[in-house]
């Protein structure tokens, strides 16, 4: 058991790529938590997809022991968090488990959108915050300018900000010392009934569901019978451990401590993040406030390219959802694409990550349909329906009005690019809420429809600002607007997988862009193919793909036979990646590519 005064719990938060995971590496390394030979860069990013993309997706906790200058040894629980906005939920729940935050700011880039978002969350959670200026080894680092920026933009005292290089290890001892001296120790009553917060849970192939907890009051021991207060389920603790970052068994966890247990829980879905865990007998009276589960905000259809793979897709989705409760799925049938699933995600990166994992870990070839948000249909009879899929849009005569989710977006951008950003937001039906400056950087706050952002807003933002803008958002509210369903007809037949909800005023432009794109994406056929965008029965844009006229090899002699045969094999394989709509074959990638707008 560790005395409260000798515990420090903190999260490491920052904008994407500012060096959180690298700082965690150094803290782990300098305290000897992991043997030198087992160290590798971004050690905590253990998923394949995290290592490949060089980003953190899942928050990770490590318990380290630090002998401080005062001669005492402290237990530090650090939580490395993801920077990407899709995984903001990981950050917010992590913060609930700790008392302080290290705010990492890349000294060559300065304060960015997620820096701000994370700081405000830390302040809301009542954290003490230690600012850390990272990457001072870079020639472009300007620690003084960034310090001033932290004070101007965030209003946080940066006079004691610690300059470090997480890469080289410079300044790390100062960080360790600051954790002990500048962050608070946790509070808690060892003699009170057990009260622990369920911080996270995941599925382990060998151990089943692993539950991570932060003990507030009381003591939890191996063999205890505990109750989850929200689900009211009772479990016996099979294994109790701390993460170093491997599991190391421990006999008990007391107030202020963070650890994990297993209790023969079958599914991650059986656990609720934010739930309160107490003893079955003599439990605590009032649960912790808890927090709202992460809600999927972006939906799309996932269909197997080869219809015979449907059962495999079902299995794969089931297995993945075992471990990721923020991803939802429901069976869907499409006239165009056959059987598949309508899946919900936290954002587009989350969607990509899940799709990648399904394709790679389960060897599937998938068609992804247009991502959509959840619209609220207010029916004339007073009923309110959620619309997850534009293809399910009911007859308009029954609909009174439609609401869509709006977001509050914060964009930080060098003022040279401000004009482009304002234009982009305006084009996407944005309403400007605020505009302020910090040095040569502007901070703009916009009210935007989520639907206009989910698809390629972030890509556009990066390309118009050459990567210098950063972006963060939170969902604000549902609001009514003049929204209509736009159908796409290929060879006079509606393709349900290409239908989308659009604002009436933008429908013509969207429709035009879609049909032009599709004209490029669909290969020529033996007949000409009209491609149309329509609202109800009214065609608002039309292109015609002319018939194929020439596809033949001029020379083919004895030496060419083998080569031509291989080419034919390739064509046949390519055809398998196409979907048949009436007489027309549409390539699999067209469903996503058609939505990318260049303007």
Partner 1 sequence: MQEDWRDGGFGIYVHWPFCQSKCPYCDFNSHVAERVDQSRWLTAYLAELDRLAAEVPGRLVNAVFFGGGTPSLMQPDVVAGVLERIRKLWPQANDVEVTLEANPGSIEAGRFRAYREGGVNRVSMGMQAMRDEDLRRLGRMHRVAEARAAFDIARDCFDRVSFDLIYARQDQSLADWRAELDEALAMAVDHLSLYQLTVEEGTVFAERFKRGQLRGLPDEDKAADFYEVTQEVCGAAGMQAYEVSNHARPGAESRHNQVYWRSGDWLGIGPGAHGRLTLGSRRWTTEAPRAPGEWLATVGRGLAGELPREALTPGERLDEFLIMGLRLSEGIALDRMLGLAGKGLRADIQAELESDGLILMGNGRIATTERGRLVLNHVIRRISEGLS
Ligand X SMILES: C[S@@+](CC[C@H](N)C(=O)[O-])C[C@H]1O[C@@H](n2cnc3c(N)ncnc32)[C@H](O)[C@@H]1O
56 binds Mg ion (CB under 5 A): yes
3-state helix, strand, coil in the chain (%, to 5): 30, 35, 35
Supply φ then ψ for residue 38, to 5 degrees.
-95, 0
134 belongs to an annotated ligand binding site: yes
**Candidate segments 133-141, 535-543, 545-553, 591-599, binder of ligand GTP by CB under 6 A:** 133-141
> For residue 164, what are its two tokens?
């470090």
Tally Cβ neighbours within 10 Å of residue 552: 5
| Nearest partner of 7 among 237, 345, 255, judged by Cα | 255
Tokens 């039309």 — which residue? Answer: 542
Answer left, alpha or beta for residue 582, where phi above 0 means left and psi between -120 and 50 means alpha.
Answer: left
Kindly identify the residues of this chain, within the stretch 26-65, that bind partner 1 according to CB under 8 A. Answer: none
317 belongs to an annotated ligand binding site: no
553 binds, among partner 1, ligand X, Mg ion, none (CB under 5 to 8 A by kind): partner 1
526 binds partner 1 (CB under 8 A): yes
> For residue 282, what are its two tokens?
């003599």
234 binds partner 1 (CB under 8 A): no
572 binds ligand X (CB under 6 A): no
Q: From CA 481, how far away is CA 431, in angstroms rounded?
A: 13
570 binds, among partner 1, ligand GTP, ligand X, none (CB under 5 to 8 A by kind): none
Q: Do residues 62 and 24 make contact, with C-beta atoms less than 8 angstroms apart?
A: yes
166 binds, among ligand GTP, ligand X, Mg ion, none (CB under 5 to 8 A by kind): ligand GTP
> For residue 406, what are its two tokens?
């709006």
Out of 35, 140, 526, 554, point to the residue binding ligand X (CB under 6 A).
554
81 belongs to an annotated ligand binding site: no
Dihedral of CA 375/379/385/391: which sign? negative
Q: Distance of CA 200 to CAs 9, 56, 89, 216, 330, Å? A: 16, 16, 11, 15, 24
572 binds partner 1 (CB under 8 A): yes
Tokens 């990013």 — which residue? Answer: 45
Kindly identify the residues of this chain, within the stretch 20-39, that bind ligand GTP according to CB under 6 A. Answer: 20-22
Q: Do residues 213 and 197 make contact, with C-beta atoms less than 8 angstroms apart?
A: yes
Nearest residue to ligand GTP on Cβ basis: 83
21 binds Mg ion (CB under 5 A): yes
Tokens 């020639």 — which residue? Answer: 139
User: Is the bond leading into 245 cis (omega within 30 degrees of zero)?
Assistant: yes
551 binds partner 1 (CB under 8 A): yes
21 belongs to an annotated ligand binding site: yes
555 binds ligand X (CB under 6 A): yes
58 binds ligand GTP (CB under 6 A): no
**Candidate segments 9-17, 66-74, 356-364, 456-464, binder of ligand GTP by CB under 6 A:** 9-17
Q: Smallest gap, in angstroms, from Cβ of residue 148 to ligand GTP?
A: 20
Supply φ then ψ for residue 486, to 5 degrees.
-105, 125
What is the size of the binding site for ligand X (CB under 6 A)?
Answer: 2
56 binds, among partner 1, ligand X, Mg ion, none (CB under 5 to 8 A by kind): Mg ion
Q: How far apart are the first and last CA of the chain?
A: 61
Tally Cβ neighbours within 10 Å of residue 290: 16
Q: Smallest gap, in angstroms, from Cβ of residue 222 to Mg ion?
A: 32
Q: Smallest gap, in angstroms, from Cβ of residue 555 to ligand X?
A: 6
What is the size of the binding site for partner 1 (CB under 8 A)?
Answer: 26
Q: From CA 458, how far away is CA 453, in angstroms rounded?
A: 7
18 belongs to an annotated ligand binding site: yes
**Candidate segments 49-57, 226-234, 344-352, 524-532, binder of ligand GTP by CB under 6 A:** 49-57
580 binds partner 1 (CB under 8 A): no
Tally Cβ neighbours within 10 Å of residue 345: 24
Q: Do residues 118 and 145 make contact, with C-beta atoms less than 8 angstroms apart?
A: no
Q: What residues are designated binding site? A: 17-22, 134-137
Residues forming contacts to partner 1 in the complex (CB under 8 A) are 524, 526-527, 546, 548-559, 561-562, 564-565, 567-569, 571-572, 575
Residues forming contacts to ligand X in the complex (CB under 6 A) are 554-555
Residues forming contacts to ligand GTP in the complex (CB under 6 A) are 14, 16-22, 42, 54-56, 82-83, 134-135, 137-138, 165-167
Q: What residues are designated binding site for GTP? A: 17-22, 134-137
């Amino acid at each position: 058991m560790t005395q409260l005064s000798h515990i420090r719990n903190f999260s490491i938060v920052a904008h994407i790529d500012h060096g959180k995971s690298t700082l965690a590496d150094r803290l782990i390394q300098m305290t000897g938590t992991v043997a030198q030979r087992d160290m590798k860069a971004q050690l905590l990013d253990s998923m394949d997809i995290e290592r490949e993309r060089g980003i953190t997706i899942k928050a990770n906790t490590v318990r380290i022991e630090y002998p401080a200058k005062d001669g005492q040894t402290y237990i530090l629980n650090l939580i490395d968090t993801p920077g990407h906005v899709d995984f903001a939920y990981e950050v917010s729940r992590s913060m609930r488990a700790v008392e302080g935050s290290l705010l990492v700011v890349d000294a060559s880039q300065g304060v960015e959108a997620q820096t701000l978002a994370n700081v405000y969350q830390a302040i809301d959670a009542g954290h003490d915050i230690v600012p850390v200026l990272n990457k001072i080894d870079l020639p472009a680092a300007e620690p003084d300018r960034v310090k001033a920026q932290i004070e101007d933009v965030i209003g946080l005292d940066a006079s004691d900000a610690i300059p470090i290089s997480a890469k080289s290890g410079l300044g790390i001892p100062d960080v360790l010392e600051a954790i002990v001296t500048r962050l608070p120790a946790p509070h808690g009553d060892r003699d009170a009934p057990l009260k622990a917060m369920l911080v996270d849970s995941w599925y382990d192939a060998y151990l089943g569901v692993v539950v991570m907890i932060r003990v507030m009051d009381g003591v939890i021991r191996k063999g205890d019978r505990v109750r989850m207060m929200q689900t009211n389920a009772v479990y016996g603790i099979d294994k109790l451990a701390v993460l170093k970052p491997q599991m190391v068994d421990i006999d008990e966890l007391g107030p202020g401590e963070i650890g994990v247990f297993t209790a023969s829980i079958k599914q991650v879905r059986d656990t609720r993040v934010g739930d309160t865990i107490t003893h079955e007998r003599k439990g605590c009276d009032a649960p912790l406030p808890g927090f709202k589960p992460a809600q999927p905000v972006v939906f799309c259809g996932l269909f197997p390219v080869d219809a015979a793979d449907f059962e495999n897709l079902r299995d794969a989705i089931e297995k993945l959802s075992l471990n990721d409760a923020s991803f939802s799925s429901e069976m869907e049938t499409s006239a165009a694409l056959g059987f598949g699933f309508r899946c919900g995600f936290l954002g587009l990166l989350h969607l990509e990550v899940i799709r990648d994992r399904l394709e790679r870990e389960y060897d599937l070839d998938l068609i992804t349909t247009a991502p959509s948000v959840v619209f609220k249909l207010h029916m004339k009879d007073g009923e309110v329906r959620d619309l997850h899929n534009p293809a399910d849009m009911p007859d308009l005569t029954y609909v009174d009005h439609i609401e869509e989710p709006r977001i509050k977006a914060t964009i930080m951008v060098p003022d040279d690019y401000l004009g482009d950003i304002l234009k982009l937001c305006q084009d996407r039906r944005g309403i400007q809420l605020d505009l302020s400056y910090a040095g040569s950087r502007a901070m703009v706050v916009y009210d935007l429809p989520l639907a206009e952002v989910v698809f390629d807003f972030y890509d556009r933002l990066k390309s118009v600002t050459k990567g210098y803008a950063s972006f963060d958002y939170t969902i604000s509210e549902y609001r009514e607007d003049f929204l209509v369903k736009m159908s796409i007809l290929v060879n006079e037949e509606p393709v349900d997988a290409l239908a989308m909800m659009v604002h009436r005023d933008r429908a013509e432009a969207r429709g035009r862009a879609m049909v032009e794109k599709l004209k490029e994406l669909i290969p020529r056929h033996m007949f000409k193919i009209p491609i149309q965008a329509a609202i109800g029965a009214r065609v608002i844009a039309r292109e015609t793909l002319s018939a194929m006229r020439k596809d033949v090899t001029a020379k083919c002699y004895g030496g060419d036979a083998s080569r031509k045969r291989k080419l034919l094999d390739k064509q046949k394989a390519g055809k398998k990646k196409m979907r048949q709509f009436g007489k027309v074959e549409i390539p699999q990638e067209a469903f996503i590519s058609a939505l990318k707008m260049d303007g």
